Amino acid sequence: MSVLQKLNDYRYVVPKSFRPGMKIEGLIYADEELIKQIEKDQTLDQVANVATLPGLVGRSLAMPDAHQGYGFPIGGVAAADMEKGIISAGGVGFDINCGVRVLSSDYHIDQVQPNIDQLLNQMFRDIPCGTGKSGLVDLSFEQLDEVLENGAHWAVKNGYGSYEDLHHIEETGKIPNADPGMVSARAKKRGRNQLGTLGSGNHFAEVQYVSEIFDDNAAKVFGLWQNQIVVMIHSGSRGLGHQVCTDYLEIMQEAMPQYGISIVDRQLACVPIKSQEGQSYLKAMAAAANFAFANRQMMSHWTRQAFARVIGNGNLKLVYDVCHNIAKEEVHIVDGSRKKVLVHRKGATRAYPKHRPEIPQDYFEIGQPVLIPGSMGTCSYVLVGTEKAMEETFGSSCHGAGRAMSRTAAKKSTTAEQLIQQLKEKGIHVRGASRSGLTEEKPDAYKDVSLVVEVVHQAGIARKVAKMIPIGVIKG
């Protein structure tokens, strides 16, 4: 078996000789430190396994925050030819449109810090979070279908935020080909009571301040300034999305033989994009993605209310909202010509440069904000998309820090009380629905987000704009 080939300081190639059946090469963005971490688990094998799928173009990519996932690595990107390629439910993942948004405030850190405890208490009261927690909205199945069709547009129409917000959401918060009819009754039942809930695991809402500006012009256009208070919300499509993926993994596995597809890992189950099953999945996935957009929109509304009540005004502007787990039909240059491809982003962020029609008008001359949450208690970043990302990664970049320690190991190494105290000493106040949930998400259970972002920046697949440090965290 041939080994990984170092292409330059930030790129490692997984050659086709790495394992039999690879139809394309793999490419991993990492420096010497991160590649060592990536080599520790099954990420390389998974990058290679993805490369065996039919109809992929370019390379099977892994971002610097990549770690072992299911089928696809987390941090994986793969583009399929629209005519001959496949769609893989596992290539999007269970938490469809898990994503993140950043809201900017009018406030300087000094105006918020004295009241951070009260603000967190209010947010913790108003945003349902944690395992088994139901949402505040009682939806009929007909109303749920409207959410699935219209995403954040439904939320705004029902009083959660403003129409202005929609311009600053990927796909304007509504993927158009969503069809609630392709979402099973079971998925709807699982998600119906979870709209407007944060969830648990790595999902959070954080009050942060801008600690460093790297690109004055881009920061200005995004409305970010030194010491400004911002809010970051990280959540997804909850049980509804999880069940959509579960359902379609089974449907795809059953359908594969009729299309003559064989795979090396059952979690990679896939069908041709043009097949009836592939089209149904894409419509169901879009519906689940819309649920997630509405979910984050509603939580933003409650955050604004909490700010209005505790701090003074709830004038939080949505900087942007990006998907981390999604498959989208996009046009990219492949082998020198424009081609329609289906880009799977499994734990990766779209990172479009300036002058792309898909990005908001007010960001047209700068590029799309790329939002990178760190782990609890560490920093987060806003970056901007680049031309290089269009050339190399189908307009994609990293999505976060990437886990480095198992949950059990994290829980064993510290208690919730110790962790809360350590964070408090760093000026970070925490509210958590579950004590074990908190320790599982301790900062050093993750890779160093700054290292991940630095690799992305140096490799040129996104550019640093601003760094944020949390002063308050709400965990599910």
Partner 1 sequence: MDERFRILEHPADVGIEAYGETLQELFENSAVGLISIIAGSSKIESGHRLHVSIESTDIENLLVRWLSEILYLSDAEQFIFARADFEKISQTLLKGFVFGERYDPAKHQLQMSVKAVTYHQLKVRRQGTWSATVFLDV
Judge whether 23 and 45 are in contact, CB under 8 Å.
no
| Contact pick of 81, 265, 387, 444 for partner 1 (by CB under 8 A) | 265
Instruction: Determine if 199 is a binding residue for partner 1 (CB under 8 A).
Output: yes
Work out the angle at residue 128's Cα, subtended by the Cα atoms of residues 126 and 131, and round it to the nearest 5 degrees. 155
Phi (first) and psi of residue 6, to 5 degrees = -80, 120
Q: What's the min distance (Å) between Cβ of 405 and partner 1?
A: 7
Measured in whole angstroms, the distance separating CA 105 from the mean position of its chain's CA atoms is: 22
Q: What's the min distance (Å) between Cβ of 410 and partner 1?
A: 10
- Rounded Cα gap, residues 151 and 174, in angstroms: 5
- Rounded Cα gap, residues 109 and 99, in angstroms: 25
Strands 11-14 and 270-272: unpaired
Instruction: Determine if 189 is a binding residue for partner 1 (CB under 8 A).
Output: yes
Instruction: Determine if 136 is a binding residue for partner 1 (CB under 8 A).
Output: no
Residue 304 corresponds to which tokens in the numbers above? 């604004």
Instruction: Determine if 170 is a binding residue for partner 1 (CB under 8 A).
Output: no
Phi (first) and psi of residue 200, to 5 degrees = -125, -155
Alpha carbons within 13 angstroms on the beta-carbon side of residue 340 total 8
Residue closer to partner 1, measured from CB, 130 or 314: 130
Q: What's the min distance (Å) between Cβ of 436 and partner 1?
A: 6
- Rounded Cα gap, residues 218 and 140, in angstroms: 43
Strands 380-384 and 463-475: antiparallel
The burial class, CB within 10 Å (0-12 / 13-18 / 19+), for 348 is buried
Instruction: Determine if 70 is a binding residue for partner 1 (CB under 8 A).
Output: yes
Q: What's the min distance (Å) between Cβ of 256 and partner 1?
A: 11
Residue closer to partner 1, measured from CB, 211 or 267: 267
* Binding residues for partner 1 restricted to 406-445, rule: CB under 8 A: 406-409, 434, 436-437
**Contact letters for partner 1, residues 18-57 (x by CB under 8 A):** -----------------------x----------------
Residue closer to partner 1, measured from CB, 159 or 257: 257
399: annotated active-site residue: yes
| Contact pick of 253, 279, 413, 458 for partner 1 (by CB under 8 A) | 253
Q: Which residues are part of the catalytic machinery?
A: 399
Contact positions vs partner 1 (CB under 8 A)? 41, 67-71, 74, 93-95, 130-132, 186, 189-190, 199-201, 239, 242-243, 245-246, 249-250, 253-254, 265-267, 269, 403-409, 434, 436-437, 476
